[in-house]
Amino acid sequence: MEAQELITGSHYLGLNLFGLEIRISETVVVGWILIIVIGIILKLLTHDLKKIPTGKRQVIAEWIVTTVNSLVKETMGEKNIAFAPYIAALFMSSIMGSLVGLFGLRPITSNYNTTIAWALVTFVMVQFFSIRTKGLKLHLKSYINPLNIIGDLALPVSMSFRHFGNVSSGFIISAILYMALSALSGAIGLPAPLTTVGIPGFLSLYFDLFSGFMQAFVFIMLTMAFVGAATEE
Amino acid sequence: MENVNNLGLVLAGSAIGAGLSMIAGIGPGIGEGYAVGKACEAIGRQPEQQGAVSRTMFIGCAIAESTGIYGFVVAILLMFANPFIGKLA
């Protein structure tokens, strides 16, 4: 694989539809697979619920719901508990999107389009709830100070770049290490790139598991903090 | 120098710029080390608050990392999506 192609991820599935070329990137395909997988997991966890749980399945489902609810209550206040499903969905897709790196796929969060989309949702939510709680007049009044305009516009940029940069830097470092290790085994005369076995696993443990989890957590914490601040009187 | 064409000059400048932009990694390194040190102090003083302290520290570290990430994004742009090559023609 060409180094640049590996890093910028220009894998396209070209479709020719009525003379119009449609390109479907790897991120879109992996994203849809993730949506289906998450849907199946949730369906398995929540079908056939009982008032008194008998199996482990329902206990796990209840634990997830309680944890997310208490986190949202803690950071956004009791009245904003309706945000919990969105926060849980965001966290789930972010963490699964980073964890697909463990299967050798390209993480969907290492494509800037994914993270800017999520960050723009947060931006629109902040604007919407700020207008709804304060009123349009008071909301626009805060923009008399031009620094507030810059601050609000910087919010989606910084959030999306942070998540994208963290995941894609890990992806690039892993890719470079793979190439270096296979070059090394070629140089010392091994018949197959044996040095690539095992060693990149430790890096993957940090970059895919720890960093992916951390960035997902930071993303939902920032979303909750900004939206929570916008809903306050 | 007469053998250097415009493209070579732009590519060389971009490579140097990409390396220079990663100097931005120094700041977050110092800042995060300081934050973790302070968090260790806080945990030593109040071990029962370990969960809250480390959670806040991780979020703070991730936010402090942004400036380094911006430098990294600039380096990536210069290496793989160079905007200056298009301006040569």
Please tell me which residue of chain B has the smallest CA distance to A8: B80
Report the complex ipTM: 0.71
- The whole-number pLDDT of residue A2 equals 47
Tokens 């207008």 belong to: A131
Q: pLDDT: is B42 or A209 the higher one?
A: B42
Residue B54 has pLDDT above 70, yes or no: yes
- Kind and range of the H or E run holding A5: helix A3-8
Whether A101 and A107 have beta carbons less than 8 Å apart is answered as yes
Query: How many Cβ atoms sit within 10 Å of the Cβ of residue A49?
Result: 11
Domain count within chain A: 1
Residue A194 has pLDDT above 80, yes or no: no
Domain region containing A226: 3-230
Contacts of residue B71 in chain A, CB cutoff 8 Å? Answer: none
Nearest-neighbour CA in chain B from A30: distance (Å):
23
Give, in order, the Cα–Cα distances in Å from A45 to each of A42, A53, A57: 5, 12, 6
- The whole-number pLDDT of residue A87 equals 93
Q: Show the CA angle centred on residue A25, arms to residues A20 and A27, nearest 5°.
A: 150
Residue A8 has pLDDT above 60, yes or no: no
Contacts of residue B63 in chain A, CB cutoff 8 Å? Answer: 162, 218, 222
pLDDT in tens, A89-146: 999 999 998 888 888 788 888 888 889 999 999 999 999 999 999 888 988 888 888 8
A10-24, A123-137, A158-172, B36-50: segment of lowest average pLDDT = A10-24
Nearest-neighbour CA in chain B from A201: distance (Å):
23
Sketch out chain B's domains with CATH numbers. Answer: 6-83 (1.20.20.10)
